[in-house]
Amino acid sequence: MSVNYAEGLSPYEHKGKCGLPEKFDNVSDVAAKVDQLVQWINESQHVVFHTGAGISTSAGIPDFRGPNGVWTLEQKGEKPTFNVTFESAVPTFTHRALVAMETLGLAKYVISQNVDGLHVRSGFPRNRLSELHGNMFVEECNKCGTRYINREVVKTMGVKLTGNNCTQVKSRGRCRGKLQDTILDWEHALPDQDLDWAEKQAKAADLSICLGTSLQIVPSGNLPLITKRSGGKLVIVNLQPTKHDKKADLKICTYVDDVMKAVCKQLGIVVPEYTGPGVVLQSNHTLPSEENLNIVLKDQSFLLTNMSEIKTEKGGGKIETVNGVTNFGNNSNGSNNVHLSVKNEIKDEEVIKLRAIQGLTKDEGQCESDILVLPEITSSYSSNVSENAIPDSDATEVKRVKLEPSKQIV
C-alpha cells in the first residue's frame, strides 16, 4: 500500500504542494475537450503517456498530494484509510485501456512515476514502459543488473539488499550478485536505462498525455516538456493544478478513468476485463533490432506472450484468437470491416506479429492495416492478399496495404 511505501522512505521535508483544491470541468466542456484529444490521437504518429498516482486511486491505492493523499494527511497528523494491498489491487480501467491502446499501436510508450506495479501486472509490455521510481514487486542484481519480477511485494525499500542472490549464469559461471529492491528513496538518482528510454520517447513524441500526475517531482515531471520543445503537443488530465498547466495545449479536469472511457468509446476500443496478474515482457510491435530486456520472472506462470483479445467497435474490428486462428476485424453487418485470419502454425514463443487499426482512417470506405509477417508463416495467407502485404525476407520491414472493407481473407 502507498502508506507502507511512504513509511518506508526516509524523512524528507520538501514533498511538494499538498492538498491543493480539485476542480471539475462541466460535462459539456469535458465532452468538447475529449473530442479534441481524440482528434489529436488520430492525427499523431507517436503518442506517449505519462502516469502518476491519480490513475491508481480507483484501485483503492491512495495518492500522495490529493485532498486525502498520504502526504496531505501526514501534514495533519493523520493517515489515510485503505482496504487493499499492492498484491490484491486490481488494475483500473486506465491501466487496461493503455494495454489495449499499445496493442493496437495507438500508445507507443508509458512513462510512470508509480511504484505499485499495476502497469506491469496489467500486461503492459515491459519494453514499452519506464518505471522511474521503481516497482514494489521487482528486485535488481547489484552486480549484473538483472531484474527479477515477483508475485509478492519485495520486503525492503530504498534500494536495500533483500537477502536474495542472483541466479543468472554468465560466461564465467554463476553471477552470485546480491539482489536489492528498486524503490528509490528521496535522494536516489533515477535508473539510467529507464530514464534514457523515457527521454528518448518524450523527444520522439508528437503528443504527450499526462494522466493523474501533479508533475511536481523532477526530473520525471519535466519530461513532458521535452515533447513541447520538440514541437509536439502536451495534454494534462488531472483534478488538481499541475506545475505545467500553463504550458499545456489542453487541460482536462475530471476523473482519469472517465476520460479514458470516453476516449476509448470514440476510438471504438473495447477494453478487456482484468482476469488476473500477468506480465508481458515484449510488445507485439518489438523490432528485431531492439535491445532485449535483462528481466527474469521468478514464476514463469506469471508470463503472458501478448494480449489475446482486443476489440474495436468502430468499424467492427477486433483482435481475437479462436482455436489457433487469429482474427482481425469481424462483424455481422459487413460495414467498414476487414476480416483477416492467419493460422498460428508456429511455436507459442514465436508470436505472430500482426496488428490492425480499424475505423481510424480518413477514408471512410477503407480500413488500413499494418501487417508484419514472419517468413515461416507467409504460406498461411490466401493468394488473394496483395504481395505488398508481405515484408522482405528478413521480416524487419513493415509494408502497408489497404484492403477494401468487403474483402475477406481466410
Binding site: which residues? 141, 144, 166, 175
The CA–CA distances, whole Å, from 272 to 56, 121, 122, 355, 402 equal 18, 14, 11, 17, 27
323: region left, alpha or beta (phi > 0 left; psi from -120 to 50 alpha): left
Q: How many CA atoms lie within 13 A of 370 on its CB side?
A: 14
Residue whose grid cell is 482496504: 83
CA atoms of 162 and 261, how far apart (whole Å): 39
How far is residue 203's CA from residue 225's CA, in Å, rounded to a whole number?
Answer: 9
* Pairwise CA distance, residues 317 & 314, whole Å: 7
State which H helix or E strand residue 342 sits in: strand 339-343
- Measured CA to CA, the distance from residue 211 to residue 207 in angstroms comes to 13
Please give the C-alpha separations between residue 39 and each of 70, 111, 207, 263, 312, in angstroms, as whole numbers.
36, 22, 11, 10, 17
**Rama region for 215: left / alpha / beta (φ>0; ψ in -120 to 50; rest):** left
The residue type at 33: K
Q: Is 3 helix (H, G, I), strand (E, B) or coil?
A: helix
Query: Cβ(45)–Cβ(109) under 8 Å?
Result: no
Q: What residues pair up with 161 in beta bridges, in sequence order?
A: 180
Could you confirm whether 133 is annotated as catalytic? Answer: yes
| Alpha carbons 162 and 255: distance in angstroms, whole number | 37
Cell representation of residue 7: 513509511
Question: Nearest to residue 129, comparing CAs of 255, 264, 279?
Answer: 279
d(CA 138, CA 278) in angstroms, rounded, equals: 14
Active-site residue, selected from the candidate residues 50, 95, 119, 133: 133
Q: What is the DSSP letter of 339?
A: E
Pair 61, 215: CB distance under 8 Å: no
Spatial distance between the Cα atoms of 402 and 396, rounded to a whole number of angstroms? 20
Q: For residue 194, which of 245, 284, 133 has the smallest C-alpha distance? A: 133
Which residues are marked as active site?
Answer: 133
